[in-house]
Amino acid sequence: MTTLPHLVPTDIEWQLTPYNINQIDDQTDRDGIYAKGYFENVDGKTVVTGLRIGTGENRIVAKFGDTVIRHRAGKYSVRPATPEQAATYHRLTALLAEQRHQYRDLDTDSTVWPGLGKLTCPACPPNTST
């Protein structure tokens, strides 16, 4: 029996982010490969910085911003982010964090700072310029 080339599953690539780490972990589980978060000490705190795929000598580590590749045979590899890709990833991550911050600022359940009479984000210092 021959397999038609257009029916062979192609490689799948993901740029690893905190938002898709669970999707990639779920796919590795379906492929029977162990994966878990990769943790490092950042500014004195232990935080997840990527995904460890596989066990023992064959395990690979993808950091946020790197590209995780699932090959046709269910094997995985990692292509580290180029400096340009890493810079773009960090810029987009910062923009998303700012966007989430602004959404909290507009949340009607946010804390009202005394004396200002308007809703503000609890993470923001009081705006005394008004």
The reply to whether 65 and 95 lie within a common domain is no
Of 115 and 42, which is predicted with more confidence? 42
Rounded CA separation 52/43 (Å) = 21
The reply to whether 65 and 88 lie within a common domain is no
pTM above 0.85, yes or no: no
Alpha-carbon radius of gyration of the chain: 21
**Three-class SS state of 35:** strand
Q: Quote the pLDDT of residue 6.
A: 53
**2 in any annotated domain:** no
Q: Tell me the per-residue pLDDT of 41-97, one tens digit each, with 9 for 90 and over.
A: 988 999 999 999 999 998 999 999 999 999 988 899 999 999 999 999 888 888 887
**Three-class SS state of 61:** strand
Helix (H) or strand (E) holding 22: helix 21-30
**1 in any annotated domain:** no
Mean predicted confidence (pLDDT) in 31-46: 93
Look at residue 23 and tell me whether its pLDDT is greater than 70: yes
The reply to whether 31 and 42 lie within a common domain is yes
**54 in any annotated domain:** yes
Mean predicted confidence (pLDDT) in 29-34: 93
**CA dist 62 → 22, 33, 45, 55 (Å):** 13, 15, 20, 14
Token pair recorded at residue 90: 């960090």
The reply to whether 20 and 74 lie within a common domain is yes
pLDDT band with cut points at 50, 70 and 90 for residue 113? very low
Q: Quote the pLDDT of residue 14.
A: 94
Q: Quote the pLDDT of residue 103.
A: 65
Range with lowest mean pLDDT among 28-37, 52-61, 92-101, 106-115: 106-115
Token pair recorded at residue 52: 């460890």
